[in-house]
Amino acid sequence: TALMYNFTKSMDEDPRTSKEIFDFAVKAISPKIDLKRYAVPLAGLHLFSKHAVQFSTCLLDNYDSLFQTMSKWCGHQNAELKKAGHSALDSFLKQMYMCVSTLLLLHWLVLLPRSCRDDT
């Protein structure tokens, strides 16, 4: 767990390891059984809170299901899980904002020269 929590490489530097950690974090916050203890989802939510920037590509590819899952944890009865859910969702939304704004800026920069040429 410590290795997963303290990894520092981005998706660009080590895509295989980052994707594996992302997949484990998704599995941790998406249990298929009814849990009596919540240490695993709590750890997964903490991973998303701390490493949303490093997961940016994967977040963008899975935004819908992740938003639904994190939103569910924000409404949990357990106060610690609810707090972790809010923190993970906050990090997720901030990273999604950064990804989308970067994509829009790149799109705008590609279109700008074309539109300037059309005016002349």
Look up residue 107 and give its two tokens.
């799109």
One DSSP character per residue, 37-49 reads --HHHHHHHHHHH
pLDDT of residue 42: 96
Burial of 90: CB neighbours in 10 Å, binned 0-12, 13-18, 19+: middle
Report pLDDT digits (tens) over 65-75: 999 999 999 99
Residue 85: which of 33, 36, 30 has the closest Cα? 30
Contact at 8 Å (CB) between 50 and 5? yes
Token pair of 6 as six digits: 């303290």
Judged against a pLDDT cut of 70, whether residue 113 lies above it is answered with no
pLDDT tens, position by position, 47-100: 999 989 888 889 999 999 999 999 999 999 999 999 999 999 999 999 999 999
Joined tokens for residue 33: 């059984």
User: Domain-by-domain residue ranges, the chain?
Assistant: 15-110
Q: What is the pLDDT of residue 4?
A: 57
Angle between helices 79-119 and 63-74 (to 10 degrees): 150
Neighbours of 78 (CB within 10 A): 13
pLDDT of residue 115: 56
Whole-number pLDDT of residue 103: 86
